[in-house]
Amino acid sequence: MTSSSEAVQQRLQELESHLEQENPVLLNAVQSFRALDRIAYRMGLLETNQSFATQIPWWPLISILGTFSAGKSTFINYYLGQKLQRTGNQAVDDRFTVVVYSPEPVSHSLPGVSLDSDPRFPFYRMSEDIEAVAQGEGDRIDAYLQLKTCHSERLRGKILIDSPGFDADAQRTAVLRISKHMIDLSDLVLVLFDARHPEPGAMRDTLKHMVSDTITRADSGKFLYILNQLDSAAGEDNPEDVVAAWLRAMGEAGLTAGRFYTIYNPDAATPISDQHRRERFEKKRDEDLGEIYQRMERVEIERAYRIVAALRKSAIDLTNGAVPILKTAMRRWRSRTLLADAVLLVTLVIFFMSWSLDAHQWHGLSYDAPWLDLLKSIEWGLEGFDAVVVILLFLTHLGIRRLAAMSVMPWLRQQVATQKPPGNVIATFERNTRFWRTVLLGRPVGWNAQARTEIDKVVQGCENYIQTLNERFTNPRGLREPNVSDVIRS
């Protein structure tokens, strides 16, 4: 346990050292995560070898999704300037591929366990989630994930995630879980469709499974919808009708948020004989590719906002999620324990009084003074109450406490599954109901006025971080706009 704890702290120190030069705002965010961790440690929500900071990826993430033959791999290869991913009209890779920068000129492919076991990457412990939805599949993590290295300057400082071709009818539950996880963590999501197969029905099915809730998401702006391989429509009498058909299909699917682009790969394009049409297609392609690449280059800025938002969410979820659930669970445990204790006590008093009054017959008491006789009966009854009886009563109380805690567990597990509060709420409840914890305590151990004050400081710090980012990344006074990389490192 100690070595694991030291490893987590070492990782946070390395992260702080990296951010000290790259982005001081995020350096402060790491320190706020540490403050949040300390509260969770005291409450027992986190083990000392865990941290809220390690539960989110700190690298900028760009996810690329799409249907089979939508040109995802071709797009990635063209962007990176080298043939990293296999291409083809059929499904050529059925795994999620995480692409990272490497100074070595030779690319390497690593198995999925390299991602599952490394907290620096977005699929850390993904095998547990896969196992939860598909029993037995968690051990087959290599069948779902792989890591590839690439020596491309465009990849420096960011991570690309290439998804397998999305076929809604053939998707497994585990793959859907990974897709959702990937979308939630990403700073930018590119959704590619194949202009050669404009079947609106198939498109709606795909969108339903991939981004059906886009319109309700707070981060809907991170989705870019790309109609790829538009050069195939150059031979149509009116190629604009192809684009219009896709736009109508998106509107019918309820997706009105996000940008829509039309592109094709210049290196794999179908020759366009008509010069004016070719120039028009190339002009639109270059404009859209320019905007897409610009968004991909500026993903570091979006990463900064995402991390601050994750910090604020963790703090608020702890206060408004984990703590209320724990308080309610402890109140239920306390009321059930005290009620059972009261029933036991009343039962014992009735039994004791009956047993004591029976002692009248053995001691020849007179009933002329009933209250005096009662006191004498109680006195004789107490003589039979030795230390063994007291110990039995104490052990019975402990058993009642334990049974009361077990009776609360089904409700608690349901709340955890539904609300998904941060930390291990069940373990914290078990810690608060151990035999040395008083049943009269109405709050979780470690949660007090000091903890609330520290949480408030973290939330206030998040607001300050956002303001600082706004001052750096916006220019309301009309001054000369700085270079993105200079701003990030300022």
pLDDT tens digits for range 15-57? 788 777 777 888 899 999 999 999 999 999 998 888 898 888 8
Question: Is pLDDT at 124 greater than 70 in this prediction?
Answer: yes
Closest CA to 321 of 20, 8, 45, 2: 45
Note whether 214 and 258 are within 8 A (CB). Answer: yes
User: What is the spatial distance between Cα 454 and Cα 268, in angstroms, rounded to a whole number?
Assistant: 57
User: What is the spatial distance between Cα 131 and Cα 352, in angstroms, rounded to a whole number?
Assistant: 56
| pLDDT > 70 in the chain, percent | 74
Q: What is the pLDDT of residue 485?
A: 47
Strands 96-101 and 145-150: parallel
Q: Which of 159-163, 200-204, 240-244 has the lowest mean pLDDT?
A: 200-204
Torsion of CA 89, 95, 96, 98, to 10 degrees: -100
Closest CA to 145 of 174, 166, 107, 188: 174
The SS3 of residue 165 is coil
Q: What is the pLDDT of residue 191?
A: 86
Note whether 128 and 172 are within 8 A (CB). Answer: no
List the helix and strand counts (H, then E) for the chain: 17, 8
CA distances from 117 to 13, 112, 345, 441 (A): 19, 9, 53, 39
Note whether 190 and 71 are within 8 A (CB). Answer: no
Backbone angles phi, psi at 87, to 5 degrees: -125, 160
Read off the pLDDT band of 168 (50, 70, 90): very low
Question: Is pLDDT at 227 greater than 50 in this prediction?
Answer: yes
Closest CA to 226 of 10, 384, 78, 400: 78
Question: Is pLDDT at 490 greater than 50 in this prediction?
Answer: no
CA distance from start to end of the chain:
38
User: What is the spatial distance between Cα 456 and Cα 452, in angstroms, rounded to a whole number?
Assistant: 6
Q: What is the pLDDT of residue 389?
A: 64
| C-alpha 180, offset from chain centre | 10
Note whether 195 and 70 are within 8 A (CB). Answer: no
Read off the pLDDT band of 257 (50, 70, 90): low
User: What is the spatial distance between Cα 335 and Cα 333, in angstroms, rounded to a whole number?
Assistant: 6
Q: What is the pLDDT of residue 420?
A: 87
User: What is the spatial distance between Cα 320 and Cα 277, in angstroms, rounded to a whole number?
Assistant: 58
Note whether 330 and 428 are within 8 A (CB). Answer: no
Question: Is pLDDT at 123 greater than 80 in this prediction?
Answer: no
Name residues whose C-beta falls within 8 Å of residue 98's C-beta, 6 or more positions apart in sequence: 115, 121, 122, 123, 145, 146, 147, 148, 159, 160, 161
Closest CA to 263 of 99, 90, 93, 70: 70
Instruction: Give the position of tokens 């709050």.
Output: 443
Tokens found for residue 428? 């914290």
**Residue 74 half-sphere exposure toward CB, CA atoms < 13 A:** 22
User: What is the spatial distance between Cα 210 and Cα 70, in angstroms, rounded to a whole number?
Assistant: 14
Q: Which residues pair with 261 in a beta bridge?
A: 226
| Most confident listed range (54-68, 335-349, 388-402, 421-435) | 421-435
Closest CA to 382 of 352, 409, 405: 352
The one-letter code for the residue type at 138 is G
Q: What is the pLDDT of residue 118?
A: 74
Q: What is the mean pLDDT of residues 328-336?
A: 91
Report DSSP state, residue 440.
T
The full set of domains in the chain, from first to last, is: 1-55+304-459 (no CATH), 57-297 (3.40.50.300)
The one-letter code for the residue type at 389 is V
Q: What is the pLDDT of residue 70?
A: 77
